[in-house]
Chains A and B, each alone.
Chain A
Amino acid sequence: MKTLLPILMMALVASLWTSSCNRQVQRIDTDTTVDLSGRWNDTDARLTAAELVTEVMSQPWLDNHMRRTGERPVIIVGMVENKSHEHIEAEVFTKELEKAFIKSGRVRVVQAGEKRSQIRRERADQQENSSASTMKQWGMEVGADYMLQGSINSIMDAYKRKKVIYYQIDMEMSNIETNEKVWIGDKKIKKFVKN
């Protein structure tokens, strides 16, 4: 019995050690809601994107533009300011908006930011290296009619082990020529976290 006891103890320790280090990873559906820490997560981004897409496509600004000009509006995505207390990547939902615009076929989207600069650099490179028939021209870009901008704000209230977090995501579309705001949409998310 005396000799068996240390062996049993060692086996127990070994089993505990291996079970604690056994990491399990499984793929889950991207629509599944999993809340772990109470911070901003993929579900929040998805809900924001869904609501903003529904709002932006159903508001009268689109029909008004079509009626006035007879053409589809052209949109450029500007900056989204994150003034919240967390790291929130706005591109997750701005991309969803762009995707909805393009898929609908009712709105045109032009490239912005560093990607646009890269395209322009490539065009500049083509002026020196491509054949005359395939070289793309300067000054033929499509000018945007509207710019999409936004801001993310958050308010947190905590007491002992309880926490309430409120996020407000505001997106707005402005006419580049007249500065007129033609659409404002928002998504509000409130969470109660109990530790």
Chain B
Amino acid sequence: MKTITLTSLLFLFLPGFLLAQLKPDQNPRAQESYAKYRQQLENHEQSMGTTANLTYEAYDPILEKKRKRQDRREFRQELRLERARSRRYNNLYRPYYYDPYYRW
């Protein structure tokens, strides 16, 4: 009975006590916000004094041209390699070499 009375008293007076701690015009739910942001403090110090590089790649016709040229070169190289690889298995002296049915 004693503990129940004490607990109920605590519940009755705790909000009042907390409100008494509040400054004038202070948000009464400030502690909730603090509790939320307190959990986010892990990487806070690492972000201080640093630069967040949120960059994007701007369209540059010269760079685009270079990129396309590079892509074409790589594609041709791949094609040459693939052709060389497939040629290895194709015996030129085999009969019906040019017939696709007999190609491996």
Contact = CB atoms under 8 A, between A and B. Distances in A.
A5 to B, nearest CB: 32
Interface string A132-165: 0000011111000000000000000000000000
Given A138-B30, A138-B31, A139-B26, A121 B56 contact: no
Nearest to A140: B26
A125 B58 CA distance: 38
A43 interface: no
A141 B22 CA distance: 14
Contact of B44 (A87, A125, A138): A125
B35 to A, nearest CB: 9
A140 B27 contact: yes
A141 B26 CA distance: 9
Contacts of B22: 139
Among A87, A123, A139, residue most surrounded by chain B Cβ atoms (within 10 Å) = A139
Interface size for chain A: under 10, 10 to 19, 20 to 34, or 35 or more residues? 10 to 19
A117 B37 CA distance: 8
B94 interface: no
Interface string A175-186: 000000000000
B44 A139 contact: no
A123 B37 contact: yes
A39 B37 contact: no
Interface of A: 37, 39, 87, 117-118, 120-125, 127, 137-141
5 contacts: A123-B37, A124-B37, A137-B26, A138-B30, A139-B26
